[in-house]
Amino acid sequence: MSLLDQATRIARDFEYPAEQVQRGVKEYIRQSDEGLGKEGTTLSQIPTFVTAVPNGTEKGLYLAVDLGGTNFRVCSVLLHGDTTFSLTQSKILIPRELMASGTSKDLFLFLARQIESFLRIHHNEHFEAHQLRRREDSNAEDLFDLGFTFSFPVRQCGINRGTLIRWTKGFNIPDAVGHDVCALLQNAIDELNLPVRVAALVNDTVGTLMARSYTSPGETGTFLGAIFGTGTNGAYVEKTKNITKLQHMKDAHFDNSTGEMIINAEWGSFDNHMSVLPTTVFDDELDADSNNPGVQMFEKRVSGMFLGEILRRALLSLHNSDLGLFKANKDSKVTISEKSMLFRQWGLDTSLLSSVEADSSKDLVDIKTALRDHLEIENPSLEECQAIKILVHAIGKRAARLSAVPLAAIITSTNKLATDDIIDVGVDGSLVEFYPNFEGHMRDALREVPEVGVAGDKKIRIGISKDGSGVGAALIALVASKDA
Ligand code: ADP
């Protein structure tokens, strides 16, 4: 069997045809209904206590921080009240040792220190004035309201209260689990004496939805926010009466005048028990070797953190087979460094998939460059480049088609297609932004769901919601400070 035949055979295992999409949608609706009714289900369907979406007229200066993946972001947002805003931002790589060892105190003090340097650099006047007032009156209240975007599963019982259910995306600090993450951050902030109040706990997906709603308010506001970055998740507007588990939450308190609340689906954990999700030997091995086997099974097939690793495992199987992908022989002068990331778990970044997918030239020069830059592979043959392209296309397309499942399920189960209104969806994340034709593959699958079809797909407006976590968190902090 030739290399291309074998790559094509592997690619076939990644196919995700229409009937599987349809089964996926039915099962998603079942699991999401279950999640609205009780705690502890696969789809967490977390009530966020955010009961309205903005309309673009909101005003003020707010702080927002975002802990969600590879980076910690700190920003201040000035809302102008006319759908526009100014944003000042800094982005800090989170040291790996703080993510997966150490204590929650180490992590949160690190975060508070980043907030302090941000304030000193960008808002020093306010910072100094506050310190002065504090010296004169230790109870002086002149605080920045801060929205804390925390993109891990939490059990929220109020707008700035929520306990961590579990870590995902490579984080693992056991002593934080079960604790209120707003209190952990506020304690660290107070320890450094900063003029900051943690006003709202925000999931980045909810932030994406809010930011989109502020910047492009339609007649009905934004309905759904979705992230396809390091992880994947979605949030949407649900009728409060359908969130029946709220009745059992004795500590829940919120204003129900709109009759709606944003639900954070936590869809990364859709179908953890694998009743409908497609799988391959590479998915199974990736899961078994991960630090959280058996959970986030949907995310492990869809998001940026995992697609590179799926590809790495597929490439490695071809490298180790008789076909000897990237091994020199009499016809090929290919070389691969022993230190290549191909041999290292999590070594392959998903941006490589985008570069490979984007190259449609005859001699695939960009793929050759990407292989050299990412994997220290020199002189790959054309056939080898074609083989990797086949695999990448299969893995990326499956991820995009899978992404249509929650979208179709949420839009149909909430009956959004019953009217002629546009359904506005805000999306964020490097995968949806940069992976070529991600939205196109997703829409193909959406149209294959009979309840959506071509007509339904036309009503769905999808737009990138940039800087969503910053602006969205600021908007939620604003709502929370008005309520306080
Ligand atoms: P985060 O989700 O951490 O806030 P991003 O939305 O930038 O940040 O997502 C980062 C993830 O996206 C990483 O897993 C990375 O591998 C992946 N990624 C980065 N660049 C690209 C790209 N050009 N194409 C596809 N995936 C990418």
pLDDT digits (tens, 9 = 90+) for 66-121: 997 778 999 999 999 999 999 999 999 999 889 988 899 999 999 999 999 999 99
d(Cα 435, Cα 439) in Å, to the nearest integer? Answer: 9
Structural domain count of the chain: 1
pLDDT band at 314 (very low <50, low <70, confident <90, very high): very high
The question of whether 204 is a catalytic residue gets the answer yes
Instruction: Estimate to the nearest angstrom the gap between the alpha carbon of 106 and the chain centroid.
Output: 24
pLDDT computed for residue 140 by the predictor: 61
Percent of the chain at pLDDT > 90 equals 79
Copy the structure tokens of residue 387: 């083989």
Asked whether residue 221 carries a pLDDT value surpassing 90, the answer given is no
Mean pLDDT of the chain: 93
Residue 166's CB is within 10 A of a number of other CB atoms, namely: 17
How many CA atoms, within 13 angstroms, populate the side-chain half-sphere of residue 125? 0
Instruction: Flag whether 153 is in a domain.
Output: yes
pLDDT digits (tens, 9 = 90+) for 428-450: 999 999 999 999 999 999 999 99
pLDDT computed for residue 442 by the predictor: 98
Instruction: Flag whether 296 is in a domain.
Output: no
| Ligand 1 pocket: which of 228, 351, 353, 366 to mutate (most atoms within 8 A of CB) | 351
Residue among 262, 180, 261, 255 at smallest CA distance from 482 = 255
Instruction: Flag whether 14 is in a domain.
Output: no
Q: Do the interacting molecules here have an ipTM over 0.95?
A: yes
Where in the sequence is the domain holding 170, given as residue range(s)? 53-219+466-478
Instruction: Flag whether 185 is in a domain.
Output: yes
Q: What is the pTM of this model?
A: 0.90
Instruction: Flag whether 187 is in a domain.
Output: yes
Instruction: Flag whether 128 is in a domain.
Output: yes
Instruction: Flag whether 129 is in a domain.
Output: yes
Beta strands in 203-318 (DSSP E): 224-228, 232-239, 260-264
Asked whether residue 456 carries a pLDDT value surpassing 90, the answer given is yes
Compute the residue count for the chain. Answer: 484
CATH number at residue 180: 3.30.420.40
pLDDT computed for residue 101 by the predictor: 83
Given the residues 166, 216, 332, 461, select the one marked as catalytic.
Answer: 166
Given the residues 76, 151, 403, 413, select the one marked as catalytic.
Answer: 151
Ligand 1 is surrounded, with C-beta below 6 A, by 68-70, 229-230, 304-305, 308, 349-351, 354, 429-431, 434-435
Copy the structure tokens of residue 41: 């289900």
Instruction: Flag whether 152 is in a domain.
Output: yes
